[in-house]
Amino acid sequence: MEGFFNVISVAAFQALLDEAAPLPAVSLPLEDGLGLTLARDVMADEDLPLTDRSSMDGYALAAADTFGSGETNPGLLDCVGVVDIQTPPSFSLAPGQCAAIVTGGILPRGADAVLMVEQTQIVGAAENNVLGTAGDVIEIRRAVAPGEAVMRQGEDARAGAVLLPAGTLLRPQELGLLAALGVLEIPVHRRPRVAIISTGDEVVPVTARPRPGQVRDVNSLTLAQLCRQCGADPGFRTHAGDDPAALEAAVAQALDAQAAGGGHDVVLLSGGSSVGTRDGTLAAIQSCPGAEVLAHGVAMSPGKPVILARVGHRTVWGLPGQVASAMVVMLVLVQPFLRRLMGDASSLRWEQRPGLPARLTRNVASRQGREEYVRVRLAPGEGGLLATPELGPSGLLRTLVASQGLVRIPAGLEGLEAGAMVDVKPFWM
């Protein structure tokens, strides 16, 4: 039955995904940029910092005046003023002089370094770690190098230079840098709009009490959360039974370009992607005008019965109905694809994501010719993390709840032995 699906390798399936282009650029407020990717270079229109500033509380001074100073042989400098953090200093330092300064204060002329207050002492003062004022004599108990504890003018950004290049993933730190330059609007690739269709006569709403033979609609919720986890917008969710007409109507509604501000970029159909008599997902996709099925079946476990299709510029996926299979396909293939649509090309391949090294606690068998994705539970052990496989049917949620990540067994291996070092890809992005 392996050839029934025309199964292709995971690498070949990913090559099909490589062809997707990022979604168009939009301009959004800075506050809405978390997790998005810059569509164009952002330039700095001023230096950051605007001038040399202190990175700690202490004394602004000339580094040359501290050479040879130490705990047993402190140097002495005259404090000639206190730098107010809101006002550039109006005085300059001569050799042998220093000025008290707080974090963020502007260095006076003649200063090229800052010595932290904990490494000084006011001569004759009873208290330690207190900044002096004009007229105090300061003991210098450590030598500093030029530039020490100083944020140089333009060190974060230079006016006229590229602040962040196109393709940059906007994390909190990048957003903070943009805020520091007063950037209010950002050019980014927009979030993919995703429609989720849960299929099957046996599927009932989460609010219902299922009868024997029925199951609550778990996949619709979990797939939506996995979309949100990687930054996509799952704004449309519906259920269609096994009736071909109803399923075709749901797909047509999801692809309607007049809906949801221009329609959905991606449609996920959960269930019915295999080749049984009740599996109508493929036929529903093929009923769409201009539909092109790119793949039906991928050599991975769990998750073999996957459909990848294109309808115009939109992508339609047929996912397995079993919850573990659907989630593994989402993690390995769909999430990186959604990130690709958002311009984050570095996240296209699942195996490129950072992993956690761990030692396998037991043997795991695998069938050659397909990639196996094993759910594992992580725990600390002697010498590092331990990865314990959580095995079970692909319809069980327990194995996912107990796990923190996946271990990939390449298609050419028959399994992994206990004690082997493995690369665990965490479930979280």
Q: What is the mean pLDDT of residues 136-147?
A: 96
The pLDDT of residue 277 is above 60: no
User: Which residue stretches of 213-348 are H helix?
Assistant: 218-229, 244-255, 281-286, 323-329, 335-341
CA distance 349 to 210: 38
Q: Is the peptide bond before 302 cis (omega within 30 degrees of 0)?
A: yes
Domains annotated for the chain, with CATH where assigned, are 2-24+190-351 (3.40.980.10), 28-48+156-189 (3.90.105.10), 53-151 (2.170.190.11), 354-426 (2.40.340.10)
CA distance 327 to 320: 9
Q: What is the pLDDT of residues 223-266, one digit of tens each?
A: 999 999 999 999 899 999 888 999 999 999 998 865 655 689 99
pLDDT at 261: 59
For the chain, give the percent of residues with pLDDT over 70.
95
pLDDT at 350: 79
pLDDT at 352: 80
For 428, the token pair is 């979280």
Instruction: Give the residue among 118, 115, 119 at the shortest CA–CA distance from 101.
Output: 115
pLDDT at 272: 75
Q: Is the peptide bond before 29 cis (omega within 30 degrees of 0)?
A: no
The pLDDT of residue 315 is above 70: yes
pTM as predicted? 0.86
The pLDDT of residue 177 is above 60: yes
The DSSP bridge partners found for residue 424 are: 356, 407
Q: What is the mean pLDDT of residues 287-294?
A: 93
pLDDT at 3: 38
Q: What is the pLDDT of residues 38-58, one digit of tens each?
A: 999 999 999 999 999 999 999
Q: What are the backbone angles phi and psi of residue 127, rounded to the nearest 5°?
A: -90, 145
Report the mean per-residue pLDDT for the chain. Answer: 92
